[in-house]
Structures are given as C-alpha cells and as structure tokens.
Amino acid sequence: MEKLTVDLKDRSYPIYIGEKLNAGELIREALPKVHTVLVVSNETIAPLYLKSLQESLEQQGFSVHACILKDGEKYKKVESYMQVLTAALEAGLSRDGAMLALGGGVVGDITGFAASTYQRGIAFVQVPTTLLAMVDSSVGGKTAINHDLGKNMIGTFYQPRCVVADIDTLRTLPEREVAAGLAEVIKYGIIYDRAFFEYLRERQESLLHPSPEVLTSIVRRCCEIKALVVSEDEQEHGLRAILNLGHTFGHAIEAECGFGTYLHGEAVAIGMVIACRYALTQGALSKDEVRAVEELLKACHLPVASPAGMDSDAYLKHMHHDKKVRDGHVVYVLPEKMGQCRTFKVSDEEMGEFLKKNICVG
C-alpha cells in the first residue's frame, strides 16, 4: 500500500493507494471518534462494493447507513444533493457523524458538497472507484453539483479526511470509463511532468489494460502531483488552475452536446488537443509533441476531434460561462512547453480565428 499526504497544515490528510485495502481500518484511523456514517453511492456501484465496505466499517464499530443515488452526470443536481441530506436526517446523522463517498467523481462531488453544507459541515471520506476519481476528483476538495445553466456552478472547497483508492475496484470499470480516466492521467504529464508523459507513451499500447503495478504507480504519480499543487494553492488563486488544462474547451463541448454525450474525460481529451494545437501556433510546443499527445490519446481510445458542426461561436459562447472568466476575458490554461503550463488571457477575436482555422470543421 502507498500512502501520500495532502499537506494543508491542520487539515492535512492521507491518500491510500493499493490492492485489497482494509478500508474500515484506514477510515477508522482518520475518524477515530465517529460512530455513525452515511455511505453515499449509486445504483451501479452499490451492488458491487457497498456490502464489503459496510462489513469492513462495521468491524471497526461504525454504525452504517446508505444513500443510493441514480447513476449519471445528469443526476449531479440539486435533487440528488437533497436526497443525501434527507438520508442524513433520516439516519439521525449529527455533527459528529461522517459521510463517505463510494463511487466516481459524480458521487464524490455530490457527497462532498452535501458534507460541506450539512449542519454547517461534517467530516467526509472519499472511496473512489473510477480511475478519474482516483487520480483527480477525490483529491483536493473541490465539491459541486451542476446547474441547468452550467456545470459545477454550485459547490465548495471542502477537504476529505482521507482518500482510500483501492485499485481492485477498477476491474469492473467499463473500458470507456478507464479511457476517460486516462485523459486526466495524460493531463498530468503535459502540465507538470514531461518524464511521466514519456513513461505513458512507452506504455501507450497497454494503458487501457495495465498491470496492477503500473496502475498503482500511475495513480500514485498523479496523486503526488495533485497533492503538491493543492498543498500550494488550495483555492485556485494561481497554480491550481493548471489542473484545468483542456477543461475550458471540454466544458464547452459538454454543454454544447448535452451533458453525458461525451464523458468528462473524453471532452477533456479533445480540449487538451485544442490547447496543444494553440500552443503550437505560439511556438510553445513542436509539431512532434502535439502529434505525440494526439497519438497517446488515440491509443487510449479517446476522441481528439472537435464535435462535427460545433463552430467557434458555440465554443466562445459556452466558454464565457467558465469560472475562469476575468473582466470579460476567457482565461485559458495552455502549455508553455511539454511538462509545464500556465494561464493566458486570449481575446475572443484571436481564439475565434484560431478555432475557425484549426479546429472547427463541418
């Protein structure tokens, strides 16, 4: 088992990564005084993993209640959040109880938001079961639900007490979801670690079916980078924005095509290609580097082309709803070189021209 720490002074917390983890024991260590917990999961994940988590928690003396949400990004909304709060009240959860998120990023984001607001905030723990949640959403304390007018528009920064990433759970994850997680994995190479990008390229033919050793080492490296970034800039006043490479374009694609048409990771994959091609026009990346990014994404069965018929106006319209808009300007995360990114303001005229010439077809 690997143990990393997100260093946030008195709110620091461990991330455990490994196979066949004793979740109950690790969660007991993080929540020594808690008696009652509400496990939030969904109708797909609960039949697979709730029983074993519940038994492991009960062995540690926890009294366990469960709240099972509907499955899907389209349920990441206020009704599901209310369902969690109702379940917490019905379970008699008090301020010294805790919520546990057993699932992917959708369950994790809703549960974190519910925990941060229930009785002004109670403890919570992330038990991620998707690759994307293990390498990204379970770490760092961003919580959210969607609004009809925008993704993740309602949320908080609220850190978990620990993260328990058991890579055994990934055995049941559909291949398309593994691929979506790999998009975020590749992101870490582009934004922070050129050597990690090369490590992924060397294994690109087998990344969709990695050995447990490779998977553990991938999850560990991503969590190390995320923990470093979050420890330095918890609330995204600067550095943390680099974690959003490809997300501004990706969110526009998700909104234009309807949430759920593209998985989050798939939209981010296309968004990263757009960001890298823009970087090419600025001389920040070479043609070979952009080709390497596209080949790696394709090898992971990820899309790299902008949705047919999505024009530059559609991108710009959605990108103006982004949380990174400053003084009316969209702020983009763009590579400065392979393994390093930062934010840039780009005018609508310039971005519109680039998109028309280089990205939008049909």
| Binding interface with ligand NAD (CB under 6 A) | 42, 44-45, 48, 71, 73, 76, 103-107, 109, 129-130, 132-133, 136-137, 140, 142, 152, 169, 172-173, 177, 180, 264-265
Q: Does 79 qualify as catalytic in the annotation?
A: no
Q: Identify the helix (H) or strand (E) that includes residue 152.
A: strand 150-157
Residue 42 interface partner, choices ligand NAD, ligand GLY, none, CB cut-off 5-8 Å depending on type: ligand NAD
Using rule CB under 6 A, residue 323 touches ligand GLY: no
Nearer to ligand GLY, 203 or 240 (CB): 240
Residue placing its CB nearer to ligand GLY in the complex, 93 or 243 = 243
Cα 186 to Cα 294: distance, rounded to the nearest angstrom = 11
Rg from Cα positions in the chain: 20
Amino acid identity of residue 262, one-letter, is: Y
Any bridge partners for residue 144, and if so which?
Answer: 155
Q: Tell me the closest approach of the beta carbon of residue 272 to ligand NAD, in angstroms.
A: 14
Residues 106 to 145: which contact ligand GLY by CB under 6 A? 136, 140, 142
Q: 270 is written with which tokens?
A: 């296309």
Instruction: Give residues 244-263 in contact with ligand GLY (rule: CB under 6 A).
Output: 244
State yes or no: is 142 an active-site residue. yes
176 is catalytic: no
- Residue 251 annotated among the catalytic residues of the structure: yes
List binders of ligand GLY among 181-240 (CB under 6 A): 240
- 240 binding partner (options ligand GLY, ligand NAD, none; Cβ < 5 to 8 Å by kind): ligand GLY
Q: Rounded CA gap, 139 and 141, in Å?
A: 6
In eight-state DSSP terms, residue 309 is T
Catalytic entry in 65, 76, 142, 324: 142
Please check whether residue 267 is in contact with residue 184, taking contact to mean a CB–CB distance below 8 angstroms: no
Q: Is 247 a catalytic residue?
A: yes
Closest CA to 31 of 103, 88, 91, 100: 100
Q: Establish whether 187 is a catalytic residue.
A: no
Closest distance to ligand NAD from the beta carbon of 185 (Å):
12
Q: Which residue is nearest to ligand GLY (CB)?
A: 243
Q: Which is nearer to ligand GLY, 80 or 244 (CB)?
A: 244
- Nearer Cβ to ligand NAD (264/360): 264
In whole angstroms, how close is the CB of 243 to ligand GLY at the nearest point? 4
What is d(CA 51, CA 184) in angstroms, rounded to the nearest whole number?
Answer: 29
- Angstrom CA distances, 308 to 257, 276, 289, 314, 318, stand at 10, 19, 25, 12, 16
> Is 326 annotated as catalytic?
no
Amino acid at 10: D
Tell me the helix, strand and coil percentages in the chain, rounded to 5: 50, 20, 30
**Considering CB distances under 5 to 8 angstroms, the limit depending on partner class, which of ligand GLY, ligand NAD, none binds residue 271?**
none
Q: Where are the alpha helices (DSSP H) in 118-211?
A: 131-132, 175-192, 194-202
For ligand GLY, the binding residues (CB under 6 A) are: 136, 140, 142, 240, 243-244
